[in-house]
Amino acid sequence: MNATPSATRATPAVSAAPAALLAVYSRVGPRFVRGDGAELIAEDGARFLDFTAGLAVNALGYNHRVVRETMEQALSTGLIHVSNLYCTEPGERLAEELVARSFADRVFLCNSGAEANEAAFKFARKWSGKTEIVAFSGSFHGRLFATLAATDRPEYRKPFEPLVPSIRIVPREDWAAVDHAVSASRTAAVIVEPVQGEGGVRPVDPEWLGFVRELCDSRGVAVIFDEVQCGLGRTGTLFAYEQTGIVPDLLTLAKPLAGGLPMGAVLLRDAIATALKPGDHATTFGGGPLVSSVALAVVQTIADPDFLAQVRSKGEWLGARLAALAARRPRVREARGRGLMWGLELTEPAAPFVTAARERGLLILTAGTNVLRLVPPLVITPEELERGTVVLEAVLA
Ligand SMILES: Cc1ncc(COP(=O)(O)O)c(C=O)c1O
**Ranges in the chain annotated CATH 3.90.1150.10:** 5-33+305-395
144 CA closest ligand 1 atom index: 11
| CA 114 – ligand 1 centroid, Å | 6
pLDDT in tens, 309-353: 999 999 999 999 999 999 999 999 999 999 999 999 999 999 999
Q: What gap in Å lies between CA 374 and CA 366, rounded to an integer?
A: 8
Give residue 5's pLDDT band: very low, low, confident or very high (50, 70, 90): very low
* 197 within ligand 1 shell (Cβ under 6 A): yes
pLDDT of 303 > 80? The answer is yes
| β-bridge mates for residue 40, sequence order | 35, 48
pLDDT given at position 16: 65
Give residue 29's pLDDT band: very low, low, confident or very high (50, 70, 90): confident
Alpha carbon 251 to chain centroid distance? 12
Give residue 61's pLDDT band: very low, low, confident or very high (50, 70, 90): very high
> Cα 387–389–394 angle (5° rounding)?
100
Q: Which amino acid is at 295?
A: A
pLDDT given at position 20: 93
**Ranges in the chain annotated CATH 3.40.640.10:** 66-303
Q: Which residue from 380, 257, 255 is spatially nearest to 311, judged by alpha carbons?
A: 380
pTM: 0.96
pLDDT of 7 > 70? The answer is no
Q: Which residue from 188, 177, 184 is spatially nearest to 222, judged by alpha carbons?
A: 188
Contact 376, 341 (CB under 8 A): no
Q: Which amino acid is at 377?
A: P
- Residue range 173-180: mean pLDDT, rounded: 98
Residue with CA nearest ligand 1 atom 16: 229
- Residue range 182-190: mean pLDDT, rounded: 98
* 150 within ligand 1 shell (Cβ under 6 A): no
189: phi then psi, degrees, rounded to nearest 5: -155, 155
* 198 within ligand 1 shell (Cβ under 6 A): yes
| CA 197 – ligand 1 centroid, Å | 9
pLDDT in tens, 67-97: 999 999 999 999 999 999 999 999 999 999 9
28 or 225, which is more confident: 225
| CA 364 – ligand 1 centroid, Å | 17
| β-bridge mates for residue 338, sequence order | 341
Superfamily of domain 5-33+305-395 in CATH is Aspartate Aminotransferase, domain 1 (3.90.1150.10)
Q: How many CB atoms lie within 10 A of CB 32?
A: 16
pLDDT given at position 229: 98
Residue with CA nearest ligand 1 atom 7: 113
Contact 287, 84 (CB under 8 A): yes
Q: Parallel, antiparallel, or unpaired: how do β-strands 332-338 and 341-346 relate?
A: antiparallel
| CA 141 – ligand 1 centroid, Å | 6
- Residue range 252-270: mean pLDDT, rounded: 98
pLDDT given at position 14: 59
- Across the chain, mean pLDDT equals 95
- What letter would DSSP give residue 15? P
pLDDT given at position 18: 81
- Residue range 247-267: mean pLDDT, rounded: 98
Give residue 274's pLDDT band: very low, low, confident or very high (50, 70, 90): very high
Question: What CATH architecture is 66-303?
Answer: 3-Layer(aba) Sandwich (3.40)
